[in-house]
A and B are shown apart, each in its own frame.
Chain A
Amino acid sequence: MTPKAPSEIWSAEVNGEPVETLITSNAILLDVLRDQVGTLGVKRGCDLGTCGCCTVMIDGDARLSCLCLAGQVSGRDIVTVEGLSDGAHLAPIQTCFAEHGGSQCGFCTPGFLISAQALLTKNDSPTDEEISIAIEGNLCRCTGYQQIVDSIRAAAEIHRGEVEPAPPASDPHPNPHPEGPDEPSMPPGHAR
């Protein structure tokens, strides 16, 4: 058997939670995140730094986790797509991707969300040019990018506080089948 690389303890903050796990010293961040930390939202599209599906935020910058040794980023602050929403509350960028068609098959979406969020955290009024540059490393085969750019623009508006987010289709209500107006009213003489 080929000798295995030595093991080491890796610790970092992933989505705000401290994580500690045993990795081999040559482990790739993408593998550690998917196989050990369990953040399967980070996708593997190519393993070669060409598709952008594996993008994660490291200390606020969008980075390709498939090109990153885990050891390089130990102790750093890592955010994956799972860390964008706050508990049950989706981030504006997430709702905007859903509402403006920024996600079709959705495989590229986690990468795009991270790239876009990294942009918006630093700059909430990006120009189209700046948006293009922020997502130039992400490939999407389904959407043709146009609706992704629309989504990012819409999210920027929310970030700037200009627009209230449109209510999602799944707006909750505790009592969907109220009594009252829905009570049957019998027409006179028609009751059976």
Chain B
Amino acid sequence: MSAGYRQQPNSSRKDGKRVAGKQVFPPPGSGGSRPVMKERDLDYIPKSVGGKEHQPAGSHIHDRIRTGTIVGKSLPLVDSNAKVTGQAWYGDDVRLPNESIGKILRSPHHYAKIKSIDTSKVEALPGVIAVATGADSPSSFGVLPVTKDEHAMAVEKVRHMGDLVACVSAVDEATAIEALGLFEIEWEILEPVFDPKKGLEDSDEPIHWRGKYHLSKTNVQKRVFQEFGDRSLVENPYSSSHGKWTMHGVHHGFTEPHAVVAHWDPNGRLQLYTPQQVPHYTHRALSTVLDVPMHQINVIRTFVGGGFGGKSDPFPHEMCAAILSRKSGRPVRITFDREEVYWINRGRHPSNIEVKMTADEEGRISGFDIDALIDGGGFASFGHVTSYYNGVLATAPYELGSFHYTGARVWTNKPASGAMRGHGAVNTRCAVEVGLDEMAEEMNVDPIDLRLANLLPPHSRTITGFRITSNGMREALERVRDGSDWENKFRKLPLGKGIGIGCGFFISGSGLPIHWDPNRFPHATVHIQVDMDGGVTVHTGAADIGQGSTTAVAQVVSEVLALPIEMIHVRSHESDTSPVDLGSYSSRVTFMNANAAIRAALEIRDKLLNAAWDILGYHPNTLVINDRRIYYKHDPAIGVSYLQALHKAQEDKGALISSGAYRSPPMGGVHKGAAAGLAPAYSFSAYVAEVDVDVELGLIKCTNVWAAHDCGKALNPLAVKGQIIGSCHMGLGQVLSEKMVYGRTGHLQNANLLDYKIPSIHEMPHVEPIIVESSDPEGPFGAKEAGEGPLLPILPAVVNAVYDAIGIRYNDLPLTPDIVYKGIEKKRKKLKLEDATELPNPRYTHGPKSIELQKLLKKRSEEHRKRDIARQTTEDTSAYVNGVLFGFDPNIPLEDQLEGWRMATEPDPEQLAELGLAGKAWLKKEQREMGGEN
């Protein structure tokens, strides 16, 4: 016997009790853990329907279908046993008979035209099975229908180092690698662009050409201008802040490298196994690129070893595998090494962000200017959306006097940036929250009070027209303040120790399905099928990428039908069997799929209740559905078992089948770009971080984080906490250590996990996850997202804490020791100090004015607190739009009340001169305006 865990002798006891270490898998056919019906668990049944569950935010439409079975209880992910036994099958674990190994030839140049490719030597190599180049895949694809600018392999030119040029499959990996060396390619090197600022200028050879929509001859892919509110409020501010930020690119850093297996089966259908967050986009793209109808393709999502947005684009290597397999008739497996993972990238955009904010004498935020120039790399990916998100997602949860945003995304000759956890919202959020902190500092007021006095209430509208429903922001802020003992620490800790605050706001599911009109088709569909054995099979396209979407769907069905979760089987791997679904991105899965699943389960529930009515003669309204049994409300002894009701219900058709869908209500304004950032609900979060800064070494250690996140309702608190802590980890990486380093020649220098520094266990602070439940009226049982939003606040919380510790503002992320040290040295020299340990750290310097203001803020937040509670519990249902704080009537359009209230999506000609960096893109003209080509 080898080492490792072994069962202790005599661990099987006669009395059937379990002994430490002896846990068995359920035998086949078992359907639940309890021989008799369990009592209703009143702790998990809401007060409004007679239970004991506390409902601070009032009742919810789903209350009446709560059965106390599983919602709100911590439980392991339903697929965790597969994961802990090593039986979960990820991309590279799919091994088909007669497989061949594919490899990809990548560009050695940043930017070059391909004049010719000679593959004859490759083909001649013994062991090579198939070869493909750009000529085999002329059609372009892309994740967004408006920007289809990618090809399976480079057609005409390569756009960044590592771009795909050709691919080959062979009998084994060694042969495939050898074959890569035999391609003969003639290049014409072009002048690359690396600096996004350069991308704003005209170039001889723009990286892509958008025809009549192309902006002059620049590399600008998308420009955005938005202005809302009253610009006159910005004049003569009482306080202001101005930050210019440089943020580097960061990568998702998922542990599983991309892998794909393609198999063109003997019937001529393509079976594609891939770890995808959004199998449906891949499905569509494959159909275009391969020119076969979608129903001839079956996309099988394997287990996904982490996605975080990095596995949500349709990828060229997926096309390559399919093309190679089509050519050879053999399965092809392509697995990336870690370096290739960085070449395909899709990480967070390197950004140059400028934020200007102003506040008036009453501590109201009058002005909010953002300028974001983001570096998109070689392809568009999700960039169209990112360009908007950088501005619009930074506005809430605050009530603003005016908002002005200019954004531009440019192509450069680097691996493409894309969507990453907290898509588009992370960088500007950091800049904005630090700006607020600066203003609080200038006004000498508490930054938490400043925030609390400027929050939008529940059921309100943001300045850009987003509809906020539930809103737990205030509670989140109050709970982290109390939990962290903020009052006794802020501005009171010794040099080198600091505490800081940050908030977050994120969409819970994008309101606009990318590929179809939301008024025609729903966002998500779920099918349920119940067979005679009583097992419930749920078909959904929701992609479980580790966040537990399968568990969430299983949970809500289990809750509605009051069945043990072991009886719910979720099938979500194959496009053949699952309804079309937009997959796991924009934090939509729990909100949309669970809602669809509830609807489908309700249909089954109704049929079961009707069957019980038939048998018992009691109307469904008087029946209670509980653990595998339906009984009469007033006499539980009168009832039928679940199986009996089921069999009765199945008498006509033999099976119970239902289908449920979710569609979001019509929302949003009519201005250009109004759909970007629209969501049926928004999540809110507030973090307090505590740091230790070594003033002599510049080393920052984050020690404690209090992390409050409003997820509406925690369906599974264990999973929500896991998401909060995991988000902290990822955000902490970005603020302290992670960056993609491009050298002077534009080369990515740290395409491995040694130099790309993901925090290890030693860098992790203690995180205290705090779940705030605001019960969203449209969320499934009140739930909202918890996967992305919790990432946002950690960055500003740490930056603000560093300021509290050493009195230095940094605007350059990540805060690696060299940067921190430089800042300390600069300040030390400026103050002419001997030693960095003598640095002064910030303290309040109250004057009469600031004491007044502080009082005012406290008073206002106390008033708003009452207002919020009334609105949350729908005691107060009056309209509320951004601007009420500034004295406007929410029932009259703001532009009618105030001259100067503006809503614009294009700059006025006189504004052109004062636009920021990204705003410069507006100086260029579109080709069609110039009467150019096309």
Contacts and interface: CB of A to CB of B under 8 A. Distances in A.
B614 A192 contact: yes
Contacts of A184: 615-616, 638-641, 644
Which among B21, B84, B85, B548 has the highest number of chain A CB atoms within 10 Å? B84
B761 A136 contact: yes
A133 B548 CA distance: 28
Contacts of B721: 101, 147
A40 interface: yes
A139 B760 contact: yes
B86 A110 contact: yes
Interface string B222-263: 000000000000000000000000000000111111000000
B88 A1 contact: no
Which among A40, A101, A117, A158 has the highest number of chain B CB atoms within 10 Å? A101
Contact of A45 (B6, B24, B80, B256): B256
Nearest to A174: B30
Contacts of B3: 57, 59-60, 77, 79, 118, 121
A91 B21 contact: yes
Which among B20, B89, B95, B308 has the highest number of chain A CB atoms within 10 Å? B20
B255 A90 contact: no
Nearest to A40: B93
Contacts of A85: 5, 85
Contact of A142 (B637, B641, B644, B726): B726
B762 interface: yes
A192 B613 CA distance: 10
A90 B76 CA distance: 15
Given A51-B255, A105-B546, A190-B617, A84 B5 contact: yes
Given A84-B5, A144-B728, A158 B37 contact: no
A144 B81 contact: no
Contacts of A6: none
Interface in B142-159: none
Which among B76, B617, B632 has the highest number of chain A CB atoms within 10 Å? B76
Contacts, number: 324
A8 interface: no
B767 A146 contact: yes
A1 B85 contact: no
Nearest to A180: B36
A173 B34 contact: yes
A172 B564 CA distance: 12
Nearest to B644: A184
Contacts of A4: 174
Interface stretch (B395-403, B442-450, B751-759, B799-807): B751-759
A135 B762 CA distance: 10
B37 A106 contact: no
Query: Number of contact residues on B: which range applies?
Result: 35 or more
A187 B635 contact: yes
Contacts of B615: 184, 192
Given A105-B545, A174-B30, A187-B617, A92 B5 contact: yes
A182 B641 contact: yes
B863 interface: no
Given A103-B77, A141-B730, A169 B33 contact: yes
B577 to A, nearest CB: 22
B643 interface: yes
A86 B304 CA distance: 27
A139 B255 contact: yes
Contact of B255 (A140, A172, A192): A140
Which among B27, B306, B545 has the highest number of chain A CB atoms within 10 Å? B306
Given A98-B76, A98-B77, A172-B27, A1 B641 contact: no
A85 B380 CA distance: 47
A153 interface: no
Interface in A5-25: 13, 15-16
B183 interface: no
Interface string A32-46: 000000011111111
Interface string B603-620: 000000000001111100
B887 interface: no
A170 B25 contact: yes
Interface string B723-744: 0011111100000000000000
B86 A40 contact: yes
Given A165-B23, A177-B642, A185-B639, A103 B80 contact: yes
Contact of A97 (B80, B618, B727): B80
A34 to B, nearest CB: 8
Given A94-B85, A101-B719, A47 B725 contact: no
Contacts of A100: 718
B2 A79 contact: yes
Contacts of B843: none
B530 to A, nearest CB: 14
B92 interface: yes
Interface in B92-122: 92-93, 95
A43 to B, nearest CB: 7
A144 B767 contact: yes
A178 B730 CA distance: 48
A165 B33 CA distance: 16
7 contacts: A94-B85, A103-B77, A104-B547, A106-B88, A172-B25, A176-B33, A191-B617
Given A95-B84, A105-B545, 17 more contacts: A39-B86, A40-B89, A41-B86, A43-B90, A83-B2, A83-B4, A85-B5, A89-B24, A90-B84, A94-B84, A101-B721, A136-B761, A139-B758, A145-B764, A147-B721, A169-B33, A192-B614
Interface of A: 1-2, 4, 13, 15-16, 39-48, 50-51, 53, 57, 59-60, 77-86, 88-95, 97-101, 103-110, 113, 117-118, 121, 132, 135-136, 138-147, 149, 158-159, 161, 163-165, 167-178, 180-187, 190-192
7 nearest CB pairs, A to B: A41-B86, A105-B546, A107-B305, A106-B83, A182-B641, A144-B729, A91-B5
